[in-house]
Amino acid sequence: MNNIEYYNNLLISQYRTKAKFKEWLNVLIQPFIDIGNCADNMCLAFDLDFAEGKQLDVLGEIVNQKRILPFLPSTGSNVLSDDDYRLVLRVKIIKNQWDGKLVTFEKLWNDVFTDNPLNYIDNQDMSITVSVGGEFSIPIQEMIAIGLLIPKPQGVKSNLSLGVAYFGYDEETTEISGYDVGFWRK
């Protein structure tokens, strides 16, 4: 039963058989039903996981992140694909929630990007070593390399490394490596 039928069933017996009255009532009710349907679909239409194209652009305006890169990546296009833009928007949202502590950003990143763990190491000499695991597209790799995605405190030098393996005994894979290469998982 749709919503108009619901309201027609609420009519008193005097008006239930009057076709003109029911048409008049339907004309009044239909805009409210349409508004309710639009409101129900709005959350899904602008969900970061499902949004595409213009919807992602609107989300980018909300969090103040443009799809067009301020540099030309080696791919030749400075416009991000939907998947890359979705990742950049997630990072921007994390940055907007960040309180400025390295440990907090690391935790926020690892909560959102479970397949791409991030690890900060404070070198105690006004520099940090940042390692990001997992696979990224070329534009995202270049954004990380020039410091557009991973924040750092001002005045601190950062050493970035991508695709870093974690420490493990007796195994050499892309995710696990031995001494002098692997990082300890926190």
pLDDT, one tens digit per residue, over 42-86 is 888 889 999 999 999 999 999 999 999 999 999 889 999 999 999
Query: Residue 177's pLDDT is what?
Result: 59
Nearest to 166 by CA among 179, 151, 147, 148: 179
Cα–Cα distance for residue pair 186/7, rounded to 1 Å = 59
Query: What are the tens digits of pLDDT across the range 123-144?
Result: 889 988 888 877 888 998 899 8
The residue type found at 39 is: A
**What is the total residue count of the chain?**
186
Angle of helix 102-112 versus helix 82-97 axis, rounded to 10: 140
**Taking residues 83-99, what's their average pLDDT?**
91
101 or 64, which is more confident: 64
Calculate ∠ Cα 176-181-186, nearest 5°: 65
Query: Residue 186's pLDDT is what?
Result: 47
Query: Residue 58's pLDDT is what?
Result: 94
Query: Residue 169's pLDDT is what?
Result: 60
Six-digit token pair at 46? 């602008």
Query: Residue 65's pLDDT is what?
Result: 94
Per-residue confidence at 1, pLDDT binned at 50, 70, 90?
very low
Name the pTM for this structure. 0.70
Cα–Cα distance for residue pair 164/150, rounded to 1 Å = 15
Query: What are the tens digits of pLDDT across the range 10-51?
Result: 888 888 888 999 899 889 989 988 998 888 888 888 899 999
Calculate ∠ Cα 142-78-58, nearest 5°: 105
Q: With 70 as the cut, is the pLDDT of residue 120 above it?
A: yes
